[in-house]
Amino acid sequence: MKVEWLDNGYIDFVKKAIRSLEKQHEAISENIANVSNPEYVRKRTDFLRFLEMQGGKSKLVITRRKHIPGLEDEGDVLMGSDKEKVDINREMSELAENQVRHDFVTRVLRSIYDSLNKSITGKVK
């Protein structure tokens, strides 16, 4: 029996996605921490672009570029500066979205490892 997802880099891709979401969380947290600093320039990360660069084939169809925040201004970097001040409402919204994505990807990785464990041990929890 051949298990394709073990030898095609899928697990590594999911791990990279988790690390990317963690970095995005750090950037958003830093933005929130500096909301009252007038000299602070907002940091941003682009998780969807990271996935594209890693070879992830997203089923996401974009009909209008402004439907997804961050796609209007595409830079060459995944983490950069928007040269704008921090909007606490925007940051809290992005933090919540990032948390949902992180939870989902973490569940995917756990499901992979649970399936692998079941295959090896033959035990179902």
At 34-77, the pLDDT tens digits run 999 988 988 877 777 777 776 655 444 555 555 444 434 333 33
What's the whole-number mean pLDDT along residues 84-96? 91
Answer whether residue 111 shows pLDDT above 70: yes
Range of the domain at 70: 4-121
The more confident residue out of 125 and 76 is 125
Q: How many CB atoms lie within 10 A of CB 26?
A: 13
- Residue 46's pLDDT is 76
User: Would you place residue 122 in the very low, low, confident or very high pLDDT band (cuts 50, 70, 90)?
Assistant: confident
Number of domains in the chain: 1
Scan for tokens 């073990």, then name that residue: 6
Q: Which residues contact 18 (CB under 8 A, 6 or more apart)?
A: 102, 105, 106, 109
Predicted TM-score (pTM) of this structure:
0.68
Q: What is the dihedral of CA 38, 40, 42, 43, to 10 degrees?
A: -170
- Beta-ladder partners of 45: 79
